[in-house]
Amino acid sequence: MSEKDLIKEDEMEDNVTDTATQEGSTDQPNAEEVDPIEQMEKEIADLKDQNLRLFAEFENFRKRTAKERIELFGSANQDLMTALLPILDDFERAIKAQEGNTKDSGTQLIYNKLENTLKNKGLKPMEDSTGKPFDADLMEAVTQIPAPSSKLKGKVVDEIERGYQLGNKILRYAKVVVGQ
């Protein structure tokens, strides 16, 4: 073959390659030739998803802060209530000491006002635990003594200090003596 024939053959191969490339490009669009409508729809879907996630995050934040606010209001007086419990105990002791004396009803009146005010703020006294089985979730055993009867073994013989709750939270455990 002559040189001219070789050049013609090379040109023909180049033309065939270019034709195949052009045909392939019609089947697959270039990255630059993306449909703008599809691109906008994709952006809209992404923005909707982002908006939905932000809305859900905000709702969770709102619910969490509302729950924290309720808990704060429920326990806001906890320190004050804890400080007033010994005074309430002293009033109870004073009233027991004056049981025979009816002249001093002022102590009882003040005790009732204090107790009612604390109850209105959410303070609840626990029930008397004398004679009930010892419950470590609600009581604190101060000491153990030999049970006066076999029925009182493992049960509360005497309650030294009454327990109190503020809402559902235990503010002070009942201090008790347990029979052994």
In a domain, 24, yes or no: no
Rounded Cα distance, 53 and 1, in Å? 72
Mean pLDDT, range 143-172, rounded to an integer: 89
pLDDT value at 20 more than 50? no
User: Does the residue 130 lie in any domain?
Assistant: yes
- Do the domain assignments include residue 47? no
Residue 38, in any domain of the structure: no
- Condensed to tens digits (0 to 9), the pLDDT of residues 42-64 reads 999 999 999 999 999 999 999 99
| Residue-level pLDDT at 100 | 72
| Pick from 120, 128, 124, 126: nearest CA to 167 | 124
- String of DSSP letters for 85-140: HHHHHHHHHHHHHTTT--S--HHHHHHHHHHHHHHHTTEEEPPP-TTSBP-TTTEE
Query: Of all residues in the chain, what percent carry a pLDDT higher than 70?
Result: 79
The reply to whether 32 falls in a domain is: no
Say if 66 falls within a structural domain: no
> Does residue 117 fall inside a structural domain?
yes
Query: Which domain, by its residues, includes 148?
Result: 75-179
Cα 39 to Cα 46: distance, rounded to the nearest angstrom? 11
As a whole number, mean pLDDT of residues 98-114 equals 80
Model confidence at 65, pLDDT cuts 50, 70, 90, reads: very high
Q: What is the CATH number of the domain that holds 141?
A: 2.30.22.10
Lowest mean pLDDT among 1-5, 77-81, 123-127, 140-144: 1-5
Could you tell me if residue 121 is inside a domain? yes
Work out how many domains the chain is built from and give that number.
1
